[in-house]
Structure 1
Amino acid sequence: MQATQTGLPVRKKWQISDTVKWLIVSLFALFTGYLIVLMYAQGEYLFAMLTLLLSATGLYIYANRRAYSWRYVYPGLAGMSLFVLFPLVCTIFIAFTNYSSTNQLTFERAQSVLMDRQFHADKTYAFALFPANANQWRLALTAPDNGEILVSVPFAFNDTAPQTLTLSPQPMPSGEKAVLRVITQNRQALGQLTAKLPNGESLRMSSLRQFSGTQPLYKKADDGKQLTNVQTGAVYRPNMERGFYQQVNASGEWQAEKISPGFIVNIGWTNFLRVLHDDGIQKPFLSIFVWTIIFSLLTVVLTVAVGMVLACVVQWEELKGKAVYRVLLILPYAVPAFISILIFKGLFNQSFGEINLMLSSLFGIKPAWFSDPMTAKTMIIIVNTWLGYPYMMILCMGLLKAIPDDLYEASAMDGATPMQNFFRITLPLLIKPLTPLMIASFAFNFNNFVLIQLLTNGGPDMIGTTTPAGHTDLLVSYTYRIAFEGGGGQDFGLAAAIATLIFILVGALAMVNLKASRMKFD
């Protein structure tokens, strides 16, 4: 009997907890469902599909006791899908489209924007505003042909919501007419007004003193695609290869004139073929690709070499004041990288920088650090070595402590010199554990966007290229300039194609490095 009595509250408590859990799950499902519908309605199909997949998987895992073991794995998998796989899929998808600053809308949305365009008819009405009640006005229009006065009901200004006013023949309202300053201050609200005349004609404000009739600029044909300009009679059809409404002649042939905005279409491998066959893109791409590899390799070699040598120096037992030297040598690592880069940008200034002043005083030279391609590349490698050696030095200092002293004692008995100890004992024992970190450093510098953007912005620029490109650009900064600094429009599709190629190249180089290191150290 006691067990039954004590069991009832536990069962009841379990039922309440279960009810709360399902209530929370239901609310979350309704909220995510609402978000998915909004995304789909806005044309964000990929986001909608990803949200549906992740939310449905999460609801199944956390609501089903059989999937209990997946509750700890799901957040990591969801994060990887959201922040790694999804951007990768989107980038690859964009690479096969003409997505750019002029082609950002779907076909339906672009057509809707064009159909909303209107033009003002020739017949115009002079208008005036007269005060009505508190914070309300009356709109009075004067017909151009017979001078008939049409007056609206009282209304209040609204900058955000459109209003339709029905006008009727009435005497001119009494009171003082609003001055031009009032009309100017409320121009946005007046632009939201539509004046409905007794004959059904609609008028909109066309200037600070006039209302005029408005008509749709384009008329849609029966096929739902062809548009005709009401003013000029020009016929436009959607060019599904270029992503624009383009004018056609009587024979149905494409003409040069096109109207914006454009729309997104699938163009297949065109962006990738442009990289391979367009000389204005191919030559800078290959040049920047080679420079990116050289920059990454030199940076890794120099930072490791400088860091390893300095680590051996500060670990030297007979060196006095080792703690001070360590602090001074590690200091560049403690300063934020962007601050160091901006300081070096001032130091390398050709006219006023301290480096050129010193070189001029000692050797009588003033290198053009920012205008000569080779000198600019040398400057970038110097700055990046300065930024990267403290990290390698710290790693080498820790690894040096793991080398047994017996090895150096044995070599001393054999009469080995310090240089022989370094190349035959220290270097081989440090390189093996440093190899994965060197590969990671190579991958990081392959995409070192901040250094290039802050120090040279890719300059000096290359001449005769189709896309903006510089001699010190890395592939990542080159892609950024194509996407956001293109002179003929931001070409996101081409930038996505190059980003996809970068992903493939970096992945291939990483695999080669891993295989090479495995063969060397196995």
Structure 2
Amino acid sequence: MSKLGSAPLSRRSARRWRHRYVKWPMVVFCALAIAWMVIPMYARGEYLFAMLTLILAGAWLAIFANAGAYAWRYVYPGLAGVGLFVLFPLACTIGIAFTNYGSVHQLTFDRAQSVLLERQLQSGKSYGFSLYGQDDAWRLALTDDVNGGLWVSPVFTADDGRERTLVMQASDAPPAGARGTLRAVTRHRQALGRLTLQLPDGARLRISSLRQFSSLRPLYVLGERDSLTDSHSGKEYRPNPATGFYQAVNAEGRFVDGQLSPGYTVPVGWKNFMRVVQDQGIQKPFLAIFVWTIVFSLLTVVLTVAIGMVLACVVQWEALRGRALYRLLLILPYAVPSFISILIFKGLFNQSFGEINLMLNALFGIRPSWFQAPLLARLMLVVVNAWLGYPYMMILCMGLLKSIPDDLYEASAMDGAGPLQNFFGITLPLLIKPLTPLIIASFAFNFNNFVLIQLLTNGGPDRIGTTTPAGYTDLLVSYTYRIAFEGGGGQDFGLAAAIATIIFLLVGGLAILNLKATRLTFD
């Protein structure tokens, strides 16, 4: 009895020992590691990343430290991936949609203010300088070309990354060592920018060009209520929360023309969404592109399903000789990377040297402008996308055809039905039901088919009279990309995020339809 009772007791003791001396020290170590990651993020102002890291890492630590949450250990990696790669970018995109974030409004208010306060104005005479030394040990020599004079700095290291003040001493001769070339000055430009030179008379100098140090003073002086005063002109600037800029004010304190860059990010509410509705330069192309996106997706799905289904029936026809070879040749477009196929088609449709136009010119004497005419450009997109998409549908239909009982075709043959009657009466009804979820998924994919548009037409030909860059072959996703990165008046990430949010709602609706169709199919 003592031997039988001692075994469970020893196992409990070992478990208790691991719990006390192994598990909890590891928990404490992981908690310290999480704090080591989060605190620097928070100190640099990356609050969202710090919060996300704290939540995900803290939840992971709580789950793996709690024995009662054992089942969650298998679910949590997937949930964390969804949160990190889906929900977090989505939340950031929606958040940006309610701001004026763009190429001139990328900074926070504090950062934009600090950038403006760092600007300096030359307020005194300039001195030429030369570098002497080698490797990382250098000495500076200042010269006054007007009144004469030479001052030499102590030895300093050029790449230590610290702000420092060097006290200059008068000298009769330049320092020993080789004089640095302009290339050396350019290479150490950032390090020289962190130096402040103090002359014997108390003057303080900063680098103003690749060959001169000058006496500088701040261009803007911080005043009450975060106002900035131009030390040269005396003009006062105040932050304008409506525009996200420091803007000039008059004697009455009202905003007038004149603003300082860079701007800063401010909330704008529903302004970006209202621009899509109210701005005619955005509304018209948006509605036209939205309709074209739906038409393009529908045409692509219909053509790929029709071509794929017909070809699947043909290559499954037992009387056809060489079926394996035909099947291989028809599947080859699916094996070639799509971007290679798109670039090949771009060359084939070239108006002057493309093989398609050369053939049309030889047969009919015409050379269509595939990339300049809106209708032809859209037709080209549909043709190329159908070529890229039919092999996938053909493979699906080939597998589904195997599940149709042969008895149905035998009974149909006894009734005198022909191939077309068999296709429309048996094959199509039995294939379209299991294909419905995949058709909806294919529609959603082509709704956001950015690669095809970007590589083949880049959205062109362009529309005239629009506020934002837009083309006749743009889909909503490529239109959003062009607003975000190709805007003539600056990149408008806020408007692009608003349109991306609208696209998300549309595609989300398609996903719900897909789920319902799947449920109806397999219930």
Indicate the TM-score class for this superposition, using the shorter chain for normalisation. over 0.9
CA RMSD of aligned residues (A): 2.6
SS of 2:156's equivalent in the other structure is coil
Q: Does the alignment pair 1:229 with 2:191?
A: no
Q: Distance in 2 between matches of 1:51 and 1:173?
A: 55
In the TM superposition, residue 169 of structure 1 has moved relative to its aligned partner by 4.4
Q: Distance in 2 between matches of 1:521 and 1:60?
A: 38
Q: Does the alignment pair 1:23 with 2:25?
A: yes
Specify whether residues 247 and 16 from structure 1 end up closer, same or farther in structure 2 by C-alpha distance, changes over 3 A only: same
Deviations 1:127-154 (A, max 9, x none): 4556699944353454966x56544333
Counterpart code for 1:466: T
Q: Does the alignment pair 1:68 with 2:70?
A: yes
Q: Does the alignment pair 1:261 with 2:257?
A: no
1:98 alignment counterpart: 100
1:320 alignment counterpart: 321
Q: Distance in 2 between matches of 1:272 and 1:504?
A: 13
Q: Distance in 2 between matches of 1:162 and 1:409?
A: 89
1:282 alignment counterpart: 283
Counterpart code for 2:360: L
1:309 alignment counterpart: 310
Counterpart code for 1:388: G
1:387 alignment counterpart: 388
- Determine if contact 2:121/2:218 at 8 Å carries over to the other structure: yes
Provide the identity percentage. 63
Specify whether residues 26 and 168 from structure 1 end up closer, same or farther in structure 2 by C-alpha distance, changes over 3 A only: same
Q: Does the alignment pair 1:429 with 2:433?
A: no
Q: Distance in 2 between matches of 1:57 and 1:283?
A: 47
TM-score (norm 2): 0.92
Specify whether residues 134 and 98 from structure 1 end up closer, same or farther in structure 2 by C-alpha distance, changes over 3 A only: closer
Deviations 1:247-300 (A, max 9, x none): 111121212211111110000011001100111111110010000000100111
Counterpart code for 1:30: L
Counterpart code for 2:276: V
In the TM superposition, residue 6 of structure 1 has moved relative to its aligned partner by 5.3
- Determine if contact 1:127/1:209 at 8 Å carries over to the other structure: yes
Q: Distance in 2 between matches of 1:380 and 1:101?
A: 32
Q: Distance in 1 between matches of 2:346 and 2:508?
A: 32
Specify whether residues 367 and 518 from structure 1 end up closer, same or farther in structure 2 by C-alpha distance, changes over 3 A only: farther
Deviations 1:176-206 (A, max 9, x none): 8947657745651443321113444311122
Deviations 1:394-449 (A, max 9, x none): 11111111111111111111111211111111110110000000000000000011
Specify whether residues 121 and 329 from structure 1 end up closer, same or farther in structure 2 by C-alpha distance, changes over 3 A only: same
Specify whether residues 8 and 406 from structure 1 end up closer, same or farther in structure 2 by C-alpha distance, changes over 3 A only: closer
1:484 alignment counterpart: 485
Q: Distance in 2 between matches of 1:184 and 1:132?
A: 12
- Determine if contact 1:303/1:385 at 8 Å carries over to the other structure: yes
In the TM superposition, residue 487 of structure 1 has moved relative to its aligned partner by 1.1
Q: Does 355-364 or 491-500 show the bigger shift?
A: 355-364
1:195 alignment counterpart: 197
Deviations 1:330-352 (A, max 9, x none): 11111111111111111111111
* Structure 1: segments with no counterpart, 5+ residues: none
1:56 alignment counterpart: 58
In the TM superposition, residue 85 of structure 1 has moved relative to its aligned partner by 1.0
Specify whether residues 177 and 403 from structure 1 end up closer, same or farther in structure 2 by C-alpha distance, changes over 3 A only: closer
Specify whether residues 34 and 519 from structure 1 end up closer, same or farther in structure 2 by C-alpha distance, changes over 3 A only: closer
Q: Distance in 2 between matches of 1:290 and 1:354?
A: 32
Deviations 1:304-326 (A, max 9, x none): 00000011111111111111111
Q: Distance in 2 between matches of 1:132 and 1:304?
A: 71
Matched positions, count: 520
SS of 1:23's equivalent in the other structure is helix
Counterpart code for 2:460: G
- Determine if contact 1:482/1:495 at 8 Å carries over to the other structure: yes
Specify whether residues 163 and 367 from structure 1 end up closer, same or farther in structure 2 by C-alpha distance, changes over 3 A only: same
- Determine if contact 2:342/2:384 at 8 Å carries over to the other structure: yes
Q: Does 172-181 or 468-477 show the bigger shift?
A: 172-181
Specify whether residues 132 and 37 from structure 1 end up closer, same or farther in structure 2 by C-alpha distance, changes over 3 A only: closer
In the TM superposition, residue 511 of structure 1 has moved relative to its aligned partner by 4.0
Specify whether residues 69 and 485 from structure 1 end up closer, same or farther in structure 2 by C-alpha distance, changes over 3 A only: same
- Determine if contact 1:94/1:496 at 8 Å carries over to the other structure: yes
1:399 alignment counterpart: 400
1:356 alignment counterpart: 357
Q: Distance in 2 between matches of 1:132 and 1:333?
A: 59
Q: Distance in 1 between matches of 2:187 and 2:315?
A: 73
SS of 2:238's equivalent in the other structure is strand
Q: Distance in 2 between matches of 1:75 and 1:376?
A: 45
In the TM superposition, residue 521 of structure 1 has moved relative to its aligned partner by 10
Specify whether residues 8 and 252 from structure 1 end up closer, same or farther in structure 2 by C-alpha distance, changes over 3 A only: same
In the TM superposition, residue 164 of structure 1 has moved relative to its aligned partner by 1.6
Specify whether residues 63 and 402 from structure 1 end up closer, same or farther in structure 2 by C-alpha distance, changes over 3 A only: same
Deviations 1:49-70 (A, max 9, x none): 2222111211111101111121
Q: Distance in 1 between matches of 2:297 and 2:473?
A: 12
Q: Distance in 2 between matches of 1:70 and 1:521?
A: 29
SS of 2:258's equivalent in the other structure is strand
Specify whether residues 245 and 409 from structure 1 end up closer, same or farther in structure 2 by C-alpha distance, changes over 3 A only: same
Counterpart code for 1:17: R
Q: Distance in 1 between matches of 2:169 and 2:24?
A: 60
1:32 alignment counterpart: 34
- Determine if contact 1:96/1:268 at 8 Å carries over to the other structure: yes
In the TM superposition, residue 211 of structure 1 has moved relative to its aligned partner by 2.2
Q: Distance in 1 between matches of 2:259 and 2:78?
A: 48
Specify whether residues 11 and 359 from structure 1 end up closer, same or farther in structure 2 by C-alpha distance, changes over 3 A only: same
- Determine if contact 1:458/1:472 at 8 Å carries over to the other structure: yes
* Structure 2: segments with no counterpart, 5+ residues: none
- Determine if contact 1:347/1:355 at 8 Å carries over to the other structure: yes
2:509 alignment counterpart: 508
In the TM superposition, residue 512 of structure 1 has moved relative to its aligned partner by 5.2
Q: Distance in 1 between matches of 2:520 and 2:10?
A: 66
Q: Distance in 2 between matches of 1:142 and 1:122?
A: 13
Q: Distance in 2 between matches of 1:66 and 1:137?
A: 66
Specify whether residues 314 and 136 from structure 1 end up closer, same or farther in structure 2 by C-alpha distance, changes over 3 A only: closer
In the TM superposition, residue 364 of structure 1 has moved relative to its aligned partner by 1.8
- Determine if contact 2:126/2:214 at 8 Å carries over to the other structure: yes
Specify whether residues 364 and 136 from structure 1 end up closer, same or farther in structure 2 by C-alpha distance, changes over 3 A only: closer
SS of 2:468's equivalent in the other structure is coil
TM-score (norm 1): 0.93
SS of 1:213's equivalent in the other structure is strand
Counterpart code for 1:48: A
In the TM superposition, residue 238 of structure 1 has moved relative to its aligned partner by 0.4
2:90 alignment counterpart: 88
In the TM superposition, residue 77 of structure 1 has moved relative to its aligned partner by 1.0
Specify whether residues 30 and 143 from structure 1 end up closer, same or farther in structure 2 by C-alpha distance, changes over 3 A only: farther
In the TM superposition, residue 170 of structure 1 has moved relative to its aligned partner by 4.9
Q: Distance in 2 between matches of 1:22 and 1:153?
A: 54
SS of 2:488's equivalent in the other structure is coil
Deviations 1:362-393 (A, max 9, x none): 22221111111110100110011111111111
2:251 alignment counterpart: 250
1:120 alignment counterpart: 122
Q: Does 439-448 or 417-426 show the bigger shift?
A: 417-426
Specify whether residues 132 and 143 from structure 1 end up closer, same or farther in structure 2 by C-alpha distance, changes over 3 A only: farther
Q: Distance in 2 between matches of 1:352 and 1:281?
A: 36
- Determine if contact 1:298/1:381 at 8 Å carries over to the other structure: yes
Q: Does 301-310 or 130-139 show the bigger shift?
A: 130-139
